[in-house]
Structure 1
Amino acid sequence: MVMKSLNTFINGGTLTIPQAKQEFASILDGVSAAPNIKSDLNHLFQCALRYGNPTLFPTFNINKDNDNPLEYMNKWTERYLHAIKNKPSSRAAAIKNSVDDPILKIMIKTEKGFDDKQVDRALDDHNLYMSAENIQGSLLEEYIDTHISKYGWIWAEGETIRACDFIKYNAAEDKYDLLQIKNKYNSENSSSSAIRKGKKITKWYRLGQKKQDGKLIPAYQWKALNEVIGVENEMSEQDYVDFIMQAARKNKNLLI
């Protein structure tokens, strides 16, 4: 198995853009899903095919001897269909499967004067915090989707498109608007370089910072996102807090 994307087949000369459109249309005809889901799938595919170098499709594990792009397109389709049925708020956290470095426990015990029980508690607390941090980005996208899908925005669930998280088709100009979501101002997305030159992607982050009375405090950026969507007061930090609390109450396996 090797990592391949649709770029592999296009750059390798085994697939042209028109052929990709034709093959995907056949795949879409065979998908058993509601018309709105199939429409979203088609828009995601057309958007990923139109922008990028040469496309915005992610890489998957594909049989290294398989030069048939249909395997890739079917996997891409299945990935999206699986994601829409398994929202981040309903998933169970993955159990940590890596070993902790014993030297860190020795360092903490020596410097802080902790006993074994205190060190283990500190480690558990750290792992819990990291679990929350890891899922929070996906929950943020899910929350935003509950508010902006009604305005024509499509969530690229399952990481079906590189470099952006939401797209919206502008029929009047026959183009797609691309929106990239980040949780914090300093959480850079390196995949932005995948966007073809000349195509603008709107980037938004939730959590900034500012100084107040000489101290750094959170500066939430929901007003900026509401302006991108074009609807005043559609989303807010308090509404997002309510969403997170509801998800945490409902799913007791959300965190490790």
Structure 2
Amino acid sequence: MKLQHAIEKLGAKKSIATASQIAEDLNIRWDGGVAVVFSAIAGDLERVPRNIGGKNDNESSAIRKWLLKYQAGKDGRASQRKSNLPGTVSDPVIEKIIGSRISGLTEKDLNKIQYAHRLAMSAENILGLMLEEYLAVSLEFHGWHCAWGETVKSVDFVHEDGRLLQVKNRSNSENSSSSTVRNGTQIEKWFRIKADRIEYMWSSLNEICGTIELSEDSFVDFVQTTLKNNPACLSVEQENPWADL
């Protein structure tokens, strides 16, 4: 049974009661953000993730899988995670392409460029997690709770009053404006930085969330503090020539 079918069969009120009991059994604190986030999908089936639940699940086990997915997402946040090393090797022809265009580069230079690129890609891989946790920490006081683990379809944060927010790091056509879901609630959409120039959009997020403290300086400080306290968040290959700097 898919989670959407489970909630539809139980109804919103009974689904929430069931989730509350299962959360207690799993030692997941229900009166935190999880209650707010689950209520968002219990009240609107269009927000239920489609990839939770299978043919062997009943109502309770499908809801249990949602709770475990939420908790796994929260436990894997940037400040707590240990990122894996890249699972692929660099293609040797990349160095040949760069070396052919910029002939003054030595073999050592080209090797360092390759590893710098891999390091930058690893940083990009955790950027979304950094942004998500920064907002989770900063916005909880204002009633916004993170939908950890992609547990609400197309939504990253849920407010205690039912408002919904989708967050992206860079501008794109997918979240350029608000959209209305079936129950009439607006999904507010925000991106941090424009893709074609360095222009940050924190003022618009402060307006959406009723805050004044969100800023790029504050986000950068959060990133630096998180990596200082948890260096394993950014994986660095042992053979990377930049590793010992």
Question: Would you say how many aligned residue pairs link Structure 1 and Structure 2?
Answer: 232
Shift of 1:193: 8.5
The correspondence of residues 1-256 of structure 1 with structure 2, limited to 5 A, is 5-7=2-4, 9=5, 15-18=9-12, 20-21=15-16, 23-34=18-29, 36-37=31-32, 40-53=33-46, 55-60=47-52, 65-113=55-103, 114-170=105-161, 176-186=162-172, 188=174, 195-196=181-182, 198-208=184-194, 217-231=197-211, 233-256=212-235
From the two aligned structures, give the one with the greater strand fraction: 1
Q: Runs of 4 or more off by more than 6 Å in structure 1?
A: none
- CA distance 1:33–1:49, shift in 2 (3 Å): closer
Kept in 1, the 8 Å contact 2:156–2:167? The answer is yes
Match of 2:233, SS state, is coil
Matches of 1:5 and 1:112, distance apart in 2: 55
Structure 2: state its 5+ residue gaps.
236-245
Shift of 1:110: 2.5
Kept in 2, the 8 Å contact 1:58–1:161? The answer is no
Matches of 1:156 and 1:234, distance apart in 2: 21
- CA distance 1:239–1:185, shift in 2 (3 Å): same
Corresponding residue for 1:173? none
Shift of 1:123: 1.3
Matches of 1:98 and 1:193, distance apart in 2: 38
RMSD, aligned α-carbons: 3.0
Deviations 1:173-222 (A, max 9, x none): xxx100111111127469x989437431001111137xxxxxx7522111
Matches of 1:49 and 1:193, distance apart in 2: 19
Corresponding residue for 1:212? none
Match of 2:48, SS state, is coil
Deviates more, 1:233-242 or 1:21-30: 21-30
Kept in 2, the 8 Å contact 1:182–1:205? The answer is yes
Q: Percent identity?
A: 30
Matches of 1:5 and 1:219, distance apart in 2: 42
